[in-house]
Amino acid sequence: MSFLQPLISGILTGGVYALAGIGMSLVFGVMNISNFAHGDLMMLGMYLAFFAFTLLHIDPYISLVLIIPISFFFGYMMERIFINKVIHHPHQNQILLTIGLGLIMSNTALLAFTSDPKILTTTYSSSAFNPFGDVSVSVPLLLSFLITCAITIILYFFLSKTSTGMALRATSQNREAAQLMGINVAKMSAIAFGIGTALAATAGALIAPTYYIHPLAGHTFLLKAFTICVLGGLGSVVGAGVGGIIIGVVEAMSSTYLSSDWKDVIVFVIFLAVLLLRPQGLFGKKGGQ
């Protein structure tokens, strides 16, 4: 069997992981909060894409123009109403708050949409092409991957070139100093959480055509997103992007050459090894913890 097959499918799947990881990493960096509701925010994106497709007949990739602003606003309000109340509280309280909010979201979805998984079948859902011999490349995954790359590049320029982006980065580097410099850190937190939510929802929408939509579907991606942002270095956009692809490839390679039931163990072992050997992550700055 070709070595290229797991490599390519790993990279493409990793792209979606990366997007989920980037959103979480940004929240981590700016607000110093582990967001356990991140998977549920992804689920929100999946349902938005599903309803845009079934009710408004908009292609899931095009519906991103609706999903991104809606989910940004949702995240922004969520930060304003709930998260900022605990921003100075101990970590475990913040974590439990996001767990509670996640429970509320997933169980509201369970009541509203029932636990029947929804399948978003587009004309290209199971189509593939063969660029190199018998290696198949999934069309929807490739599209998702390209959109992920575009979003990552836009985000990178937003953070490094715009004044809001620079203020976000300043808050991420040193909250107190940023405040002293006249940056409205409370507003930056809300913006960061809004962007994080929008990225999670986008990841959800991107995976919707090749995955299934279920109130608890986001949970699969939660621990992966954590692993990715630690791997890349908390707060590093590029790091999370690379981290996502690494995780995707490691999973695909270990299913192919070892065994599919041990692949998650391998991912966690790598995660622990990185924590021990390079706790700032692959792309984080030293002392950033």
Partner 1 sequence: MKNKFVSIVAAALLAFPMLAHAAPVKIGFINSITGKEAQIGENLTNGAAMAIEDLKAKGIQVELVKEDDGGDPKNALAAYEKLVTRDAVIGVVGPYTSGCANVVASRADQYQVPLLVPAAAKEEITMKGYKNVFRLNAPANVYSQVLMDAVKAFKPKTIAFVYAATDFGVSTVKTAQENAAKMGLQEVANEKYQQGQPDYRPSLSKVKAANPDLVFLVSYDADAILLMRQAKEIGLAPKAFLGAGAGYTTAQFAQQTEISSLVVSATQWTDDVNWPGAADFGRRYKAKYAKEPSYHAACAYEAMRIMVETASKAKTAPKLRADLKAGSWNGILGPVKFADYAGFTNQNNHPMLVQQIQNGKYETVYPAQFSKKALVYPFKR
Partner 2 sequence: MKQIAFLSVLAAGAVLLPLVIGENPYVIGILISMLMMAALSSAWNILGGYAGQYSFGHAAYFGAGAYTTMILVTLYNLNPLFCIAVGIVVASIIALITGSIVFRLRGHYFGLASIAVAEVVRLSVLNFNFTGGAQGILLTDVALWNLDLNSKIPFYYGMLLVLVVTLSITAYLRRSKTGYYLQAIREDQDAAASLGINIYFYKNKALLLSAALTSVLGSLYGLYIRFIDTSAVLDLRLSIEIILTAIIGGVGTLWGPVIGALLLVPLAEMLRSNLIGDMLIKAGLVSETSGVGLFLKGSLANAHVLVYGIITVLCILYLPKGILGLFRRKK
Select 93 or 107, whichever has its Cβ closest to partner 1. 107
How many Cα atoms are found within 13 Å in the side-chain-facing hemisphere of 113? 22
Q: b/e string for 20-38 if b means 16 or more Cβ within 10 A? A: bbbbbbbbbbbbbbbbbbb
- Minimum CB distance to partner 2, residue 16 (Å): 21
Residues 6 or more apart whose CB falls under 8 angstroms from that of 285 comprise 233
Does 226 contact partner 2 by CB under 8 A?
yes
Per DSSP, 117 falls in state P
Which alpha helices (H) appear in the chain, and where do they start and end? 4-31, 38-54, 64-81, 91-113, 139-161, 163-173, 175-180, 185-207, 219-232, 237-257, 263-277
Pairing of strands 135-138, 128-132: antiparallel
Residue of the chain from 17, 28, 53, 283 that contacts partner 2 (CB under 8 A): 28
| Choice between 70 and 95, CB closer to partner 2 | 95
* Minimum distance from residue 260 beta carbon to partner 2 (Å): 10
By beta-carbon proximity to partner 2, the closer residue of 33 and 147 is 33
Whole-angstrom Cα distance, residue 187 to residue 52?
A: 30
CB of 261 to partner 2, least distance (A): 5
Q: Which of 2, 65, 69, 110 binds partner 2 (CB under 8 A)?
A: 110
Q: Which does 28 bind (CB under 5 to 8 A by kind): partner 1, partner 2, none?
A: partner 2
Residue numbers 166-225 binding partner 2 by CB under 8 A: 223
61 binds, among partner 2, partner 1, none (CB under 5 to 8 A by kind): none
Contact 60, 207 (CB under 8 A): no
The CA-atom distances, in angstroms, between 48 and each of 1, 69, 114 are 38, 12, 15
96 contributes a contact to partner 2 by CB under 8 A: yes
Please select the residue that binds partner 2; options are 18, 67, 68, 101, rule is CB under 8 A: 101
Judged by CB, which is closer to partner 1: 1, or 277? Answer: 1
**Interface region with partner 2, contact rule CB under 8 A, candidates 44-52, 166-174, 241-249, 268-276:** 268-276
A 10 A CB-CB count for 57 gives: 8
CB proximity list for 133: less than 8 A, separation 6 or greater:
2
Q: How many residues bind partner 2 (CB under 8 A)?
A: 41
Instruction: Give contact residues for partner 1 (rule: CB under 8 A).
Output: 1, 5-6, 9-10, 13, 16, 107, 110, 114-117, 119, 121, 125-128, 134, 136, 138, 207, 210-212, 214, 216-217, 219-220, 248, 251-253, 255-256, 259-261, 263-264
Instruction: Name the CA radius of gyration of the chain, rounded.
Output: 19
Backbone angles phi, psi at 137, to 5 degrees: -120, 125
Q: Which chain residues interact with partner 2 by CB under 8 A? A: 28, 32, 34, 82, 85-86, 89-93, 95-97, 99-104, 107-108, 110-111, 223, 226-227, 230, 234, 261-262, 264-265, 268-269, 271-272, 275-276, 279, 289
